């Protein structure tokens, strides 16, 4: 038979193998593959940003109109409506009545009409930047719609200090 030393070595080996097989080991951190599913639930932080900028996002979610002028009016009115519904600082400070807005808008060059539509402007920024309406047209449009300066919108939309 085995000597005491051999039995002791065998016992240690058996206990070591058993421990290796039974005791859970820490798994290495896995980097998710690009095809791994991502949670479709937005984070609280993301939802807070969306809420803070809801009146700006509403410019892009407005119903399409029959003309660029009608689409522009719909976008500005949608922003006003969302700001009121959600008790937010409005992005659109003033908007002429619909019929007045449409009647004066159609007098603008067609490129200027297109560039009034926020979705179009977003997708064609370089093209719209080249469209430089005269000072008279700019002054006229300012009587039809007035927007909050971009810095004021950013300050209003900034999350409170200390939020995630």
Q: Smallest Cα–Cα separation from 148: which of 158, 137, 136, 156?
A: 156
- pLDDT per position as a tens digit, 8-21: 555 555 655 555 55
> With 0-12 CB in 10 A as exposed, 13-18 as middle and 19+ as buried, what is 56?
buried
Banded pLDDT at 38 (limits 50, 70, 90): low
Express each pLDDT in 62-79 by its tens digit: 999 999 999 999 999 999
CA nearest to 94, candidates 151, 152, 144, 150: 144
**Cα–Cα distance measured from residue 132 to residue 124, given in angstroms and rounded to the nearest whole number:** 14
Tokens 């003033």 map to which residue?
94
Beta strands in 22-85 (DSSP E): none
Q: Where are the beta strands (DSSP E) in 20-91?
A: none
Positive or negative torsion for Cα 127, 133, 138, 144: negative
- Say what the pLDDT of residue 164 is: 40
Q: Which residue has the higher pLDDT, 28 or 47?
A: 47
Q: What is the pLDDT, as a whole number, of residue 162? A: 43
Stretch 19-39: mean pLDDT = 57
Model confidence at 118, pLDDT cuts 50, 70, 90, reads very high
Question: Would residue 40 be called left, alpha or beta, if left means φ above 0 and alpha means ψ between -120 and 50 degrees?
Answer: alpha
Under 8 Å between Cβ of 81 and 130: no
């Amino acid at each position: 038979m085995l000597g005491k030393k051999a039995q002791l070595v065998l016992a240690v080996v058996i206990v070591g193998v058993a421990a290796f097989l039974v005791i859970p080991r820490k798994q290495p951190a896995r980097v998710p593959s690009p095809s791994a599913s991502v949670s479709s639930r937005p984070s609280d932080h993301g939802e807070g940003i969306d809420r803070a900028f809801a009146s700006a996002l509403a410019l892009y979610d407005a119903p399409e109109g029959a003309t660029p002028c009608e689409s522009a009016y719909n976008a500005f009115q949608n922003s006003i409506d969302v700001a009121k519904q959600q008790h937010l600082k409005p992005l659109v400070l003033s908007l002429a009545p619909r019929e007045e807005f449409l009647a004066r808008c159609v007098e603008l060059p067609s490129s200027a009409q297109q560039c009034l539509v926020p979705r179009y402007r977003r997708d064609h920024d370089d093209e719209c930047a080249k469209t430089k309406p005269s000072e008279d047209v700019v002054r006229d449009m300012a009587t039809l719609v007035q927007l909050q300066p971009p810095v004021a919108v950013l300050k209003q939309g900034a999350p409170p200090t200390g939020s995630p």
